[in-house]
Amino acid sequence: MPTDSRTRPGLTCSVVIATRNRPEPIRDTLLSLNRQTTLPTIGIVVDSSDDNQTEQIVAGLEASLKFPVVYRHTEIKSAARQRNLGADLAASDILLFMDDDLDLEPDCIAELLNVFKNDSLRETGGASATITNQTYSDPKGLNRLLLGFCLGQWHGSYAGKLLGPAVNFLPEDLPDTVQETDWLPSTCTAYRREAFLQHRFSEFEGYSFAEDVDISSRIAKLYKLVNTTRARVFHHDMGKGTHRDWQALGKSMVVNRYGIMTRTMGRTRLLDHLRLFWFEMVYSSLTWLAAGASGQRFLLLSRLLRGKTAGFASVWLPTARE
């Protein structure tokens, strides 16, 4: 049974949600927050939408929500930078960053806060909820063989790990478990305020690919990171259906992962560069086609690969950087 944190001295918790052009999902997410057994101290919505529909949704919900909500519009179209803006408006002990398309189980916030309440030594810097519909699957057979060339290892579980050329794996959904991990997803993750302020999200533009891996792996140098399977969310993951510039996405995949690999993980050998190239250009392409080889997917893959080629040119050839 989950511990009822309503009966214990509480930590203050600000929920920060970055959103863009998704008014209906943000409505459902705020209503899900409203059903929590432990409510956030405040909700902060940072919106970069092209219209005022999201603002109207938030305004229409304010009277019925059991926690205060702050709405801010920004011209900055970057999930990472929007989250930083939201954090600047918060003064709570814990900063909980959430995507805008989640259904939270009722004790989700309570269980995330319990991780920090039970950490008397303040060793834990961040804790993530378990995404019930996106969990670790152990690679098998040929998949594991090809992946091993990127990671430099073919044995053991990869769950919750950050390996090789900054390749990240989700944690396992083990019953009633708080488990240490190498990184945390931004889907529903809480950070101690002091841990976050030491690092913040990098100023990634646009899609902000892997901004969660970037910040959490930096925080992991000073603090423990954990995932708790007692805090649970369902992620609708609507972002996959809203990509428009696949070439720009492909470039960000390479550039951002390269930065994590070299600056945070300290992997700068030629072999590390080759493993990154193999992962992005070969392994990822094969897994993309294994999920479906339609004409449309070939077209999108070609755009991704053009972007990734530009990304490698940008990180390897200084004159190619914009």
For residue range 129-173, what is the model confidence (pLDDT) as tens digits?
A: 999 999 999 999 999 999 999 999 888 999 999 999 999 999 999
**Residue-wise DSSP of 253-320:** HHHHHHHIIIIIS---SHHHHHHHHIIIIIIHHHHHHHT---HHHHHHHHHHHHHHHHHHHHHH-GGG
Percent of the chain with pLDDT over 70: 93
Angle value at C-alpha 127, between 263 and 154, nearest 5 degrees: 55
How far is it, in rounded angstroms, from Cα 193 to Cα 26?
24
Query: What is the percent of the chain where pLDDT is above 90?
Result: 86
| Region of 135 on the Ramachandran plot (φ > 0 left; ψ -120 to 50 alpha; else beta) | beta
Beta strands in the chain (DSSP E): 13-19, 42-47, 69-73, 94-98, 102-104, 124-131, 162-163, 167-168, 178-180, 188-192, 224-235
CATH superfamily of 5-135+170-241: Spore Coat Polysaccharide Biosynthesis Protein SpsA; Chain A (3.90.550.10)
Q: Where are the domains of the chain?
A: 5-135+170-241, 246-320
Which pLDDT score, from 0 to 100, does residue 291 have? 81
What would the mean pLDDT of 290-306 be, rounded to a whole number?
88
Give the model's pLDDT for residue 126. Answer: 98
pLDDT in tens, 200-253: 999 887 678 999 999 999 999 999 999 999 999 999 986 655 557 899 999 999
Judged against a pLDDT cut of 80, whether residue 319 lies above it is answered with no
pLDDT at 6: 38
For the cut 50, the answer to whether the pLDDT of residue 55 exceeds it is yes
Is the pLDDT at 8 greater than 60, yes or no? Answer: no
Q: How many CB atoms lie within 10 A of CB 266?
A: 9
